[in-house]
Structure 1
């Protein structure tokens, strides 16, 4: 049967293109670790995101649009794997400006990641160490015990000085170096698209995030953080309470990290395991919170990835003075606060906890946050609670320290009705407007606080999983008071903490009297107690004179 001339010509023209596309696909699939496919998937997702928000979004459909786009975006990140998962985790730190639908979907990126076959793992280890795997390890389990976005962990036994040492071997996935450059470039594209969609500044976070992710790919940097963190903890009251697995540097490198193996009973947030081993959940959570408070407010060397898999509890051997220890894993993602920023952030936490308007606004102004409303909003986001500056701050302080707000109110609050779609959209617009005020001067805003906020959010989540075992904000405020001391000496830190508690108690006393005044009137109560001059002077004595609403 004769072929039509036009069809024959079309076939001859299409054949080279088909062969070329096939060869390109084969190269991308087997040599380039799917760089082109992953990039095309990313571009397609970006276009979908823009179409949804520029065409389909209305106040009535906002929840549906948020939900559809969040699922599509996270599906893209999960399918692309590698650094894309890290990108999603970095986005989750900006939850102040993301709708709830995004927050819920981005949480799923902390689940178990895909693994690579053992032959590929062997090639990475042997190429990094320059020796056959059997010369270094007497035993090496082929199945990984854990897998994350950029690496997987295998249990092994190390030969060293005639000893057999159980170790954990962290091996970087072989596709990461090939994909790194493309992934970082397209991450910026994603931020540009989301900035256009949400009309909020996002690209300003790129350079700092890129540097953090690049550092995390070099396991030699992680080994340095491990040693520094352990030295800082050993020089503090946490010596013996918190351990960092020792890195075996002689058999570690840029893509392989060998650490001592640690047996644990489970994560800090695993309430069932803590109860099973009769461990005090409150004490465990308090220690974990204080450790991160110490890092943030006292050393400025902050572990920024304390998810449940990285914060464990281990039992001590019989005869040890302690029953349990906290184990801190995965030191690849750290941020360093300069002494100036560390002190400012400590002062900010103290001021926000006390509701000190003048101090809070002054500190925030230096970070490009211009007015009281924006400062109050940023303080609320930082502490994950409703911070009140000025009027209402005493009630917020009483609530923080365990006294139910409005306990003497005679009028009960009416139950809230479910908001309509229009009301919800309006609330989201107001929230976005407040977020834009916080991010009004991104050049002045400290990038480090994005990652510190991520760390604090994970600690909050762990505490919530234990049923809010401890007063997290109060503990961190104490740590901030210690970190804000002029010197690092123990006496200076204790004095700063004592001063903070004295201010709290004085303000709580004012709150008690204000509650009584609702029934008896200020003049009768104060003069009857002989405290009128003292109480009236308290707000001014503690730098509160410019506030109103006592």
Structure 2
């Protein structure tokens, strides 16, 4: 309670604004779920923004857009969680990637002057104050250097940091509240989601992160001329402004458009697939939002990647797990799919038989012809959602990126088979993983872990013995259905107490009743009733014991 008072007092105005927007879009249930019911009365005056019959996912998307960059980014993260949300929700939230309203140049001019150290019209040979594109965090402008190179200037929207910091504080508090009060929603790990949101927003508030990501990827593709990554001009770049090379190309809308422009769609698809999967499987640093606006067809059938504001990173363990599941899908092995899903999820009590049947049904859905990676991963996420196997956030982001990339590849070539294209790369990576050198390194790492554990073992044993001798050893034991057991014991105790009290009164009253001894048809009534009750009790006891 004290924490709630502190949070709401610190950011009360923003909290009231958030509640008013949610109410305006007919999301009162969300306000109640977040524990903000007292604010419902304050927001009664808020009217619905649109009289048209919008669906619940559409209303949520509109509310997130109205709430600003923090909530737009949160919606984009939710759009990656197909393991948690139905496609109706993720497809609607995915529209948050579309362009935002533009700010007039006068709003940004002072900030741009301060970051560049002068007038952009003088620093650059040409600077167009009409924005090329606008997003929730930044706007893009075209310019040209005095040396002739075409560039773009990405400018962070002013005044974002304070609002975003307040939003993240509130979301963190609300996530903790939901996780504590709702076991059903705690399964979705809201605190972990907010932490991922905070990390992503901190990176986007500093454009040097995007520049560094871009340079890292460019360095790794330096020997592949068919892949183009923009050059960063650091002499003019800063936290709020990023200057990079402009890539003159076209967005891949459809094969006919590419053919009319002189491009080879199937060749572009092969090059794009190899480049993206190299980022994922070899570099383990990949473009996390490869939608058509961020993947360009360049002259010479080259593939260009732009906008590295959102990237994903994979550990070696995650990469190996992904290889295993791709191999299981390609070779139709349900056991590999089940074991990998269990390794990804935190579920402690899955129905193995049901899960194995679902994995086999998943493989049957993929057919035996050309395998579509996007469909396969979408079906895999649907299976995870159905069996409540929530994936870690890094994998959810990866799967979303793979599905998006697969959609772009099929725009380049509708008949593209990514598994067939990538089969040599997958085989090579699997061979590298089990090569003698790799096995030797893993054995050395395993031996080092064993030695470290051996060093710690004596100290752990001494601590255990000391606590045993002092009676300080505590055990945290989780017994399933303990509440049902306690209720059953309570009922049994009450029944036994009633039986004992009743028997005591019966024994005390028996002599007086026998003396009175009324008769029914010349048969003593109370002995007859006692005998019938005794027989009924024996029959009931036998039935309960059998059950």
Q: TM-score range by the shorter chain?
A: 0.5 to 0.7
What secondary structure, in the 3-state scheme, does the structure 2 residue paired with 1:97 have? Answer: coil
Q: In the TM superposition, what is the alpha-carbon distance from 1:50 to its structure 2 partner?
A: 3.8
After TM superposition, the structure 1 = structure 2 runs for residues 167-206 of structure 1, keeping only pairs within 5 Å, are 167-188=151-172, 199=185, 201-203=188-190, 204-206=192-194
Partner Cα separation in structure 1 for residue 422 and residue 177 of structure 2: 36
Partner Cα separation in structure 1 for residue 246 and residue 30 of structure 2: 47
> Aligned pair in 2 of structure 1 residues 339, 434: CA closer, same or farther (>3 Å)?
closer
What secondary structure, in the 3-state scheme, does the structure 2 residue paired with 1:438 have? Answer: coil
2:274 to 290, 303, 310: 290
Q: In the TM superposition, what is the alpha-carbon distance from 1:43 to its structure 2 partner?
A: 7.0
Deviations 1:101-133 (A, max 9, x none): 323422322222111111222222222233333
Partner Cα separation in structure 1 for residue 384 and residue 184 of structure 2: 11
Partner Cα separation in structure 2 for residue 372 and residue 296 of structure 1: 32
Q: In the TM superposition, what is the alpha-carbon distance from 1:452 to its structure 2 partner?
A: 0.6
Partner Cα separation in structure 2 for residue 47 and residue 233 of structure 1: 47
Q: In the TM superposition, what is the alpha-carbon distance from 1:302 to its structure 2 partner?
A: 1.2
Match of 1:545 in 2: none
After TM superposition, the structure 1 = structure 2 runs for residues 459-478 of structure 1, keeping only pairs within 5 Å, are 459-465=405-411, 468-476=414-422
State yes or no: 1:41 paired with 2:41.
no
Greater alpha carbon shift after TM alignment, 344-353 vs 267-276: 267-276
Match of 2:76 in 1: 89
Q: In the TM superposition, what is the alpha-carbon distance from 1:353 to its structure 2 partner?
A: 2.0
What secondary structure, in the 3-state scheme, does the structure 2 residue paired with 1:95 have? Answer: coil
1:216 to 204, 211, 219: 204
Match of 1:399 in 2: 369
> Aligned pair in 2 of structure 1 residues 222, 434: CA closer, same or farther (>3 Å)?
closer
Deviations 1:174-206 (A, max 9, x none): 132232112323445776799869855141332
Give the RMSD, CA atoms, in angstroms: 3.8
What secondary structure, in the 3-state scheme, does the structure 1 residue paired with 2:431 have? Answer: coil
> Aligned pair in 2 of structure 1 residues 252, 225: CA closer, same or farther (>3 Å)?
same
Query: What 5-or-longer segments of structure 1 have no aligned partner?
Result: 1-27, 55-65, 316-322, 381-385, 403-429, 440-444, 493-550
State yes or no: 1:367 paired with 2:344.
yes
Partner Cα separation in structure 2 for residue 80 and residue 123 of structure 1: 25
**Is the 2:83–2:396 Cα contact (8 Å) retained in structure 1?**
no
Q: In the TM superposition, what is the alpha-carbon distance from 1:295 to its structure 2 partner?
A: 1.3
**Is the 1:241–1:326 Cα contact (8 Å) retained in structure 2?**
yes
What secondary structure, in the 3-state scheme, does the structure 2 residue paired with 1:222 have? Answer: helix
What secondary structure, in the 3-state scheme, does the structure 2 residue paired with 1:326 have? Answer: strand
Match of 1:267 in 2: 251
Partner Cα separation in structure 2 for residue 348 and residue 192 of structure 1: 33
1:234 to 204, 207, 222: 222
Q: In the TM superposition, what is the alpha-carbon distance from 1:292 to its structure 2 partner?
A: 1.6
**Is the 2:269–2:413 Cα contact (8 Å) retained in structure 1?**
no
> Aligned pair in 2 of structure 1 residues 86, 218: CA closer, same or farther (>3 Å)?
same
**Is the 1:229–1:244 Cα contact (8 Å) retained in structure 2?**
yes
1:452 to 387, 394, 398: 398
What secondary structure, in the 3-state scheme, does the structure 2 residue paired with 1:437 have? Answer: coil
Match of 1:156 in 2: 143
> Aligned pair in 2 of structure 1 residues 347, 225: CA closer, same or farther (>3 Å)?
same
Q: In the TM superposition, what is the alpha-carbon distance from 1:293 to its structure 2 partner?
A: 1.4
Aligned length: 393
Structure with more contact order per residue of length (Cα contacts < 8 Å, sep ≥ 6): 1
1:126 to 85, 105, 113: 113
What secondary structure, in the 3-state scheme, does the structure 2 residue paired with 1:246 have? Answer: coil
2:389 to 410, 430, 438: 438
Match of 2:233 in 1: 248
Q: In the TM superposition, what is the alpha-carbon distance from 1:249 to its structure 2 partner?
A: 0.7
1:325 to 291, 297, 302: 302
State yes or no: 1:300 paired with 2:284.
yes
Q: In the TM superposition, what is the alpha-carbon distance from 1:432 to its structure 2 partner?
A: 8.5
Greater alpha carbon shift after TM alignment, 78-87 vs 474-483: 474-483
Q: In the TM superposition, what is the alpha-carbon distance from 1:208 to its structure 2 partner?
A: 2.5
What secondary structure, in the 3-state scheme, does the structure 2 residue paired with 1:484 have? Answer: helix
Q: In the TM superposition, what is the alpha-carbon distance from 1:35 to its structure 2 partner?
A: 8.4
> Aligned pair in 2 of structure 1 residues 53, 465: CA closer, same or farther (>3 Å)?
farther
Partner Cα separation in structure 1 for residue 135 and residue 353 of structure 2: 41
**Is the 1:49–1:197 Cα contact (8 Å) retained in structure 2?**
no
TM-score by length of 1: 0.63
What secondary structure, in the 3-state scheme, does the structure 2 residue paired with 1:234 have? Answer: coil
What secondary structure, in the 3-state scheme, does the structure 2 residue paired with 1:267 have? Answer: coil
Partner Cα separation in structure 2 for residue 48 and residue 106 of structure 1: 19
> Aligned pair in 2 of structure 1 residues 47, 77: CA closer, same or farther (>3 Å)?
closer
Match of 1:357 in 2: 334
Q: In the TM superposition, what is the alpha-carbon distance from 1:303 to its structure 2 partner?
A: 0.8
**Is the 1:269–1:465 Cα contact (8 Å) retained in structure 2?**
yes
**Is the 1:374–1:434 Cα contact (8 Å) retained in structure 2?**
no
Match of 1:78 in 2: 65
> Aligned pair in 2 of structure 1 residues 271, 345: CA closer, same or farther (>3 Å)?
same
Match of 1:516 in 2: none
Partner Cα separation in structure 2 for residue 106 and residue 373 of structure 1: 31
Deviations 1:421-450 (A, max 9, x none): xxxxxxxxx9698545312xxxxx543111
> Aligned pair in 2 of structure 1 residues 277, 125: CA closer, same or farther (>3 Å)?
same
> Aligned pair in 2 of structure 1 residues 121, 449: CA closer, same or farther (>3 Å)?
same
Deviations 1:492-513 (A, max 9, x none): 9xxxxxxxxxxxxxxxxxxxxx
